[in-house]
Structure 1
Amino acid sequence: MSEENTARPSTPTDAVAEKWVDTELDLYPEFRVYLGRAAREGEYADYSPAGVEDAIAHTRTALAEIRAVAAVDDVDAVTKMDLERELQLTIDKHEAGFDQRDLNVIASPAQELRDIFDLMPTDTVDDWSHVATRMHNLPGAMAGYIESLRGGIAAGNTPAIRQVTEVMAQAKKQAAETGFFFQLAGNARAGEAELPASVVGDLESGARASAEAYATLVTFLRDELAQHAPEKDAVGRELYELASRGFLGATVDLDETYEWGIDELARMVAEQESIAREIKPGASVLEAIDHLDGDPTRKLHGTDALQRWMQETSDRAVEELSRTQFEIPDVVKRLECMIAPTQEGGIYYTNPTDDFSRPGQMWWSVPEGVTEFDTWRELTTVYHEGVPGHHLQIGQAVYNKAMLNTWRRNAGTSGHAEGWALYAERLMQQLGYLDDPADRLGMLDGQRMRAARVVLDIGVHLEKTLPDGSGPWTGEYAFGFLGANVNMSPEFVRFEVNRYLGWPGQAPSYKVGQRIWEQLRDEAAQRDGADFDIKAFHKRALDIGGVGLDTLKAALQPRVAR
């Protein structure tokens, strides 16, 4: 992408999309933090049933507006297609009761009310005042959220008991005097300067208020929701189809995808076994892993060493790939690698602000008790989260103001983003960055896990027959199945399976998204023949932005139908 892009004139379709962004900023003030927009810094959305209904009313209005406007070019056609898809899905999920059962271990208001603090600026006294304000507003947001979950109890629409129990444990940590809020308030400084006593007092009282709000959540989960939560983890086909559609931005045949997942898992296992024998002649995968785990040159000790290695690896990839493979704007080249303040597990990426004043950030939430890290396992993760993975894809879209309206630059689906990131891992192998068999084994370890998740996630939630035909899938079976397909700590396996059980459809979106990305590339190569240019294909695809995968398919055709 050139730094000298000529701006595309705004259209009526762009105006509708921009209006929807403004509506979202009004409905969800937290969204301002993600975009780096000033005003309402300490406010939360209204999580109550009344607030949810108000948001859905605005969604219906926006859907009618985008359907009524005419596309004037192919950019508009993509915007219309994808915004209609997202708005209609939001309505469909609301009507299916997703708001009433929105509780899981990783991506529900139970986590999001706290997580927003990770992205709030903390450089000035005013910044810390905003933090204190948000702490004081958290109890109101929590009360609205609990009211919505109570609505689910009344409607017989509740999450499984496993999610309730796990979130209760998380909330207890937030409620503790040693928890996040008290630590945040206790460590507050504006640069090297002490904060005014009034701000310190606001932070301390805000920390107490937020911790008490999480204690209230614990009480509600224990005394009310747990009494009504079902034992069965499966959500069933109807809810799963909606969830899958949301994460992919595409409709797939779930039964065919399950069978494909079984075959893909077998292929990953065979590839791993072949590379294991390269690492140590005659070795099994486990023996090769034991051999690598005993190599002190491939180990990092402590989170400080992990953070430094992540940053150095990322910086090197950005510098080299920007010379040879991708046109990366200067503002996109900056990526910060961070250790997350939580210890829940997981690695994730957060977008840069719209003006890049906050860069893209790669976060590693290291589980409690984990102090050693193996570089051969994690090298591909840095490429997945950074460049050419999430950061290149999302940072490029945010940068592309010349062609894309604000909504298009910040929209996206898990299947598009995570599918690209897995595609990027394979690309780095093709470019020679994983020539070391150990690093390739690490990449395949991740790819095998993602293939296993397709089988596990669809299998559990649709209660399909196990691959060996011995009976139906259950949540309990899933722990052993994943443990047999990843060489990770028991803590990692436990967190991951609990995540899949409570967040249906998200985990398969990685591998299914990769499958769709590879299909689109192969179709383009077949269509263009000798004229196919992989670098040009990547640029064209990334310039579209983070759309749903069905929209991406249409947009990559020679011409989008208006």
Structure 2
Amino acid sequence: MKPWSVTLFCAGVALSALAHAESADQRFEALYKKEWSWRQEQFSGYDDEDRQSSPRDRRLPDVDPATQKRRLAYWDDVLKQLGTIPAGELSAENQVNFAVYRPQIENYAAGLRFRDYEMPFNSDSQFWSDLGFMTRRPLKNADAARSYVAKLDDVPRYFEQQIANMRAGLKRGFSVPRAVLNGRDVSIASYAEAKTPQDSEFYKPLKSLPASIPADEQERLRADAARAIGEHVIPAYANLLKFFRDEYVPKARKTLAAEAMPGGKEWYRQQIRDYTTLDLSPEEIHQIGLKEVERIDAEMQATMKQTGFQGDFAAFLEFLRTDPQFYAKTPEELLMHAAWISKQVDAKIGQFIGLLPRGRFGIEPVPAAIAPFWTAGRGSAHTYWVNTYDLPSRPLYNLPALTLHESSPGHSLQGALADEQKGYPDFRSKNYISAYGEGWALYCEKLGKEMGIYHTPYEEFGRETYEMWRAARLVIDTGVHHKNWTREQAIDYLASHTALSRHEVETEVDRYISWPGQALSYKLGEIKIVELRARAEKELGAKFDLRTFHDAVLALGSVPLPVLEQQIERWIADQKA
């Protein structure tokens, strides 16, 4: 062996030994930190206050097929590397992180393999409406304002890539069903038809710039934003509107079922895995739904009798949907009712949850551009949005359940706690898993009974209606996407089992049709949390403390249901010890 080859051989042995010396924890942490940093470069956060002034946040994400192909290759490589890490050798903390991280990457990769990006909207959520949410964060400084304007200039390029993807989806029959597209163009038109740049929603952040920016610079920033909106944003929305009306709607598929699309059966199963974190078949979920519907129906019948109503169930639903006593007369009245319920929760929350967040949430009406087709409310760590559109479809008897779900102790409280918890990797603290988050929020509606938030049989019926709504979703989602239900079948099923207004029934069914799998996460997540609480109560007996149990659930942040179950079982064992 030549001297230089001996040197190379020895160097190779040394590197091999060094790699072997690295612990499983070190390898895993290096991998996810590198991937997270790459992920931030790939996806500019147009609704991320922490990144407003970041140089890499001066453009919107690339969504073209070539970029998507590179992302898939990257995530496939991450999965390959994860496969070489001995999970059993990880620390207890990193075993949990690993169990959260791997499915996250698997779902990202699967979405790209199925080319989900060719259908970048549904009847509830759209990329063009999501873009509007960046107008609701104040601009903290001049750099943030310049980044914001740069992204406004980038809207045409971003929209053109999305349109090209949607054309490819249409060509292969991968699209939102035609049946749910009527009227959805209003959410584009509201942006495309602004009379002046200053009238546009995108100009709003420029109206209240911080005083730390000199007045002359504020004027330059406003002028630059007006130019970007007038030259780029409004024309881009107008072009998208034309494409939507003239091309997408006429060519959208006439079928409803996800399984009717090319590769649809496999795609629907992946949607189920992604949103529920469980490996259940559509038929299994359908049967779970039917059993839950039967159970909740008996409770609703009993509550109807408590109200003293004389008549059958159908007549009672009609009474609830039409009697003026159950409806606010103004948007402000609806918002004030929501605020009053929220303050009742504030007075009692400390009795049920030990660790409370420092963060607070506000209550705002749903923006007009999306309100006609949005749900009754939506919650985040910072905001509880209440839909004040079409007040005769927003009954007050549902409002306690809605508020518990969307604000505290539901999404706003859970989201704020997740934001404030230290020690978790970013891929956990900045991620949302639907089965956990929606399961917790639905559980909170039931917790409201113990908290004393429901004051009348009508409000209790509203809670049961909301639980029935989530149970019926299991039946409807699988009914449409696996059993070929029609839209009318789904509407009739939801309308006959709940006191939801006709408007809500139709918008919700359209949501399930155009967003397969997402609606399954609520009830399946809640079932698991209720099951785990019952298990803890039974095994711990007098040692069971409800506040401590809730803290144990919330301390995890957002995790797949199998991880939640594993961690609560460990908590039960610790409590016994």
Q: How high is the TM-score relative to the length of structure 1?
A: 0.85
Residue 311 (1) aligns with residue 333 (2): no
1:26 is displaced (CA, Å) by 1.0
Residue 383 (1) aligns with residue 404 (2): yes
Residue 355 of structure 1 is matched in structure 2 by none
For 1:520, what is the secondary structure of its paired residue?
Answer: helix
Instruction: Give me the whole-angstrom Cα distance separating, in 2, the residues matched to 1:11 and 1:375.
Output: 54
Gaps of 5+ in 2: 1-24, 260-264, 573-577
1:190 is displaced (CA, Å) by 1.6
Residue 3 of structure 1 is matched in structure 2 by none
Shift of the 206–182 alpha-carbon distance from structure 1 to 2, 3 Å rule, reads farther
1:258 is displaced (CA, Å) by 0.5
1:337 is displaced (CA, Å) by 1.4
Residue 513 of structure 2 is matched in structure 1 by 501
Contact 1:32/1:38 (8 A) holds in 2: no
Instruction: Give me the whole-angstrom Cα distance separating, in 2, the residues matched to 1:192 and 1:74.
Output: 46
Residue 210 (1) aligns with residue 233 (2): yes
1:281 is displaced (CA, Å) by 4.5
Residue 278 of structure 1 is matched in structure 2 by 306
Given residue 137 of structure 1, which amino acid in structure 2 is its aligned partner?
Answer: D
Residue 109 of structure 1 is matched in structure 2 by 127
Instruction: Give me the whole-angstrom Cα distance separating, in 1, the residues matched to 2:203 and 2:188.
Output: 20
Instruction: Give me the whole-angstrom Cα distance separating, in 2, the residues matched to 1:68 and 1:336.
Output: 46
Residue 62 of structure 1 is matched in structure 2 by 78
Residue 3 of structure 2 is matched in structure 1 by none
Instruction: Give me the whole-angstrom Cα distance separating, in 2, the residues matched to 1:297 and 1:167.
Output: 31
- Which of structures 1 and 2 has the bigger CA Rg? 2
- Pick the aligned partner of 2:375 from 346, 365, 374: 346
Q: Deviations over 1:432-454 (max 9, x none)?
A: 22242121111111111111211
- Pick the aligned partner of 2:429 from 405, 409, 430: 409
Q: How does 1:541-556 map to 2 (within 5 A)?
A: 541-556=553-568
1:76 is displaced (CA, Å) by 0.8
Residue 26 (1) aligns with residue 47 (2): no
Residue 434 of structure 1 is matched in structure 2 by 454
Residue 192 of structure 2 is matched in structure 1 by 175
For 1:43, what is the secondary structure of its paired residue?
Answer: coil
Instruction: Give me the whole-angstrom Cα distance separating, in 2, the residues matched to 1:348 and 1:377.
Output: 11
For 2:208, what is the secondary structure of its paired residue?
Answer: coil
Contact 2:53/2:143 (8 A) holds in 1: no
Instruction: Give me the whole-angstrom Cα distance separating, in 1, the residues matched to 2:50 and 2:562.
Output: 26
For 2:207, what is the secondary structure of its paired residue?
Answer: coil
- Pick the aligned partner of 2:94 from 46, 54, 76: 76
Residue 11 of structure 2 is matched in structure 1 by none
* Number of positions where the alignment pairs a residue of Structure 1 with one of Structure 2: 531
Contact 2:352/2:546 (8 A) holds in 1: no
Residue 121 of structure 1 is matched in structure 2 by 138
Residue 4 of structure 2 is matched in structure 1 by none
Instruction: Give me the whole-angstrom Cα distance separating, in 2, the residues matched to 1:111 and 1:32.
Output: 12
Residue 416 of structure 2 is matched in structure 1 by 395
Shift of the 292–32 alpha-carbon distance from structure 1 to 2, 3 Å rule, reads closer
Instruction: Give me the whole-angstrom Cα distance separating, in 1, the residues matched to 2:312 and 2:198.
Output: 47
1:88 is displaced (CA, Å) by 1.0
Given residue 151 of structure 1, which amino acid in structure 2 is its aligned partner?
Answer: A
Given residue 171 of structure 1, which amino acid in structure 2 is its aligned partner?
Answer: I
Deviates more, 1:231-240 or 1:388-397: 388-397
Instruction: Give me the whole-angstrom Cα distance separating, in 2, the residues matched to 1:50 and 1:65.
Output: 23
Deviates more, 1:489-498 or 1:189-198: 189-198
Residue 233 (1) aligns with residue 256 (2): yes
Residue 6 of structure 1 is matched in structure 2 by none
Instruction: Give me the whole-angstrom Cα distance separating, in 2, the residues matched to 1:35 and 1:437.
Output: 45
Contact 2:442/2:523 (8 A) holds in 1: yes
- Pick the aligned partner of 1:524 from 536, 543, 546: 536
Residue 486 of structure 1 is matched in structure 2 by 498
Q: Deviations over 1:348-378 (max 9, x none)?
A: 54544xxxxxxx21122443x4378443221
Q: How high is the TM-score relative to the length of structure 2?
A: 0.83
1:15 is displaced (CA, Å) by 4.5
Structure with the higher fraction of residues in helix conformation: 2
Given residue 234 of structure 1, which amino acid in structure 2 is its aligned partner?
Answer: A
Instruction: Give me the whole-angstrom Cα distance separating, in 2, the residues matched to 1:216 and 1:423.
Output: 43
Q: Percent identity?
A: 22
Shift of the 132–162 alpha-carbon distance from structure 1 to 2, 3 Å rule, reads farther
Residue 4 of structure 1 is matched in structure 2 by none
Q: Which has the higher contact order (CA 8 A, sep 6+)?
A: 1
Contact 1:13/1:79 (8 A) holds in 2: no
Contact 1:524/1:532 (8 A) holds in 2: yes
Residue 328 (1) aligns with residue 349 (2): no
Shift of the 93–166 alpha-carbon distance from structure 1 to 2, 3 Å rule, reads farther
